[in-house]
Amino acid sequence: MSTALAVAGVTADQNANAALGDVNADVTAVAADAVELTGPAATPRLNLYMYQVSPNSGWRNVDLPSTDSRGARSTNPPLGLDLHYLLTAYGTQELQAEVLLGYGMQLLHMVPVLTRQQIEDRLPPALQASRLAAQVEMVKLTQESPSTEELSKLWAAFQARYRPTAAYRASVVLIESQSAGRAPLPVLTRGPVDEVTGRERGVVVQPDLFPPLPGITAVRPPNSQPGAVLGEVVTVEGHRLNGTNRAVRLENRQLGVELDINADPGAEAGLLQFTVPNDPAALAVGTYSLQALVQPPGEPAQRASNLLSLTVLPNILTDLPLAVDRDGEGTATVKSRLQPTGQAASAGRSPCRCARGSRRAAGRSDRHTHV
């Protein structure tokens, strides 16, 4: 890629002296209003003036420079530019400007692409560090045809007298930052290595639109309940769930619970089922993150899916219905036995199903206690 000096490098390379024959003329690259038209300094010349820079339409789709979370540079996409020039001829005698313009246009027509060797040979020493000759694309010269109105506006903006002019575009100049970027790590292996043959498995192609790794899309407790109680069977739906060593992992960091549960027998790719352990000491009431663990066919270890939630609900062990008496103030106390214990429910992590029977009316209140 080039550096920021490449813009000046393209301009400096347009040396048309060789095409001017015996005409004693100069080739310059100054602003149109800086050219001397009268006096001793007024000589026949071709002036190449860069009046506009525009983004290249092809390289404009490349991503912008980016940084990582620490602010370090990660990518340095190049800046692609098109340079727009006016080739203007100045003469001190009749028809001299037309002759010079014809020679200049003939040279640019014969050299539509600036080769790398031409750039290296003609760049002045001050612009050798531009690395223009080493960029991935060569610079191509294309003649443009601005309208009379556009040329009139340009020369009015230059605040200079109009002279015979031809317009050109040089495309493309690629400017890349010199900041060091962080490239991603190289690929060391393509798939697991067979311990017997020592060969990589290679790239595996899946003839469908599903992601290549196991994933879960829904967790369905029995009977469309909002959660599951101990001992109930839960269905997990997803994709790529077929294989061996199928299991689920329930985790709740606040309760300090992380439990792997083997899946029920089966090898369906779209679902797996498991039974919530009937172990009150291992699981408390609360909401858990659920993750499927599957060892896909041909792989040496389990793969973990994405996370969804599952709520473990308390199971009411008290015989219902209950006969409840009220005291003199109209307050009734209901005592119920739950499994698992209500330590998570008391913290507000799970709704109590016996709360559906509580009511407040006519100044009366119901109270219930879990045991």
Query: Which residues does residue 367 pair with via DSSP β-bridges, in sequence order?
Result: 333
Query: Which residues does residue 49 pair with via DSSP β-bridges, in sequence order?
Result: 86
Query: Which residues does residue 174 pair with via DSSP β-bridges, in sequence order?
Result: 80
- What pLDDT is attached to residue 325? 82
- What pLDDT is attached to residue 5? 58
Per-residue pLDDT of the chain (371 residues; tens, 9 = 90+): 666 555 556 555 444 444 344 557 788 889 999 888 888 878 888 899 999 999 998 888 887 777 777 777 777 788 899 999 999 999 888 888 888 888 888 888 998 999 888 888 888 888 888 888 888 899 999 999 999 999 999 999 999 989 999 999 999 999 887 766 666 678 888 877 777 888 887 887 878 888 888 999 999 999 989 999 989 999 999 999 988 999 999 999 888 899 999 999 988 889 999 999 988 888 888 899 999 999 988 788 899 999 999 999 888 777 778 788 888 888 888 877 777 764 543 333 334 444 333 333 334 444 444 44
Query: In terms of Cα–Cα distance, which of 154, 13, 11, 28 is closest to 100?
Result: 28
CA distance 333 to 95: 114
- Please report, in angstroms and rounded to a whole number, the separation of the first and last CA atoms in the chain: 75
The alpha carbon dihedral of 361, 343, 347, 284 has a sign of negative
Cis, bond preceding 265 (omega within 30 deg of 0): no
CA distance 277 to 259: 10
Find out whether 227 and 350 touch, Cβ atoms under 8 Å.
Answer: yes
Find out whether 200 and 192 touch, Cβ atoms under 8 Å.
Answer: yes
Domains and CATH numbers, the chain: 6-175 (3.30.2000), 215-313 (2.70.50.70), 316-370 (no CATH)
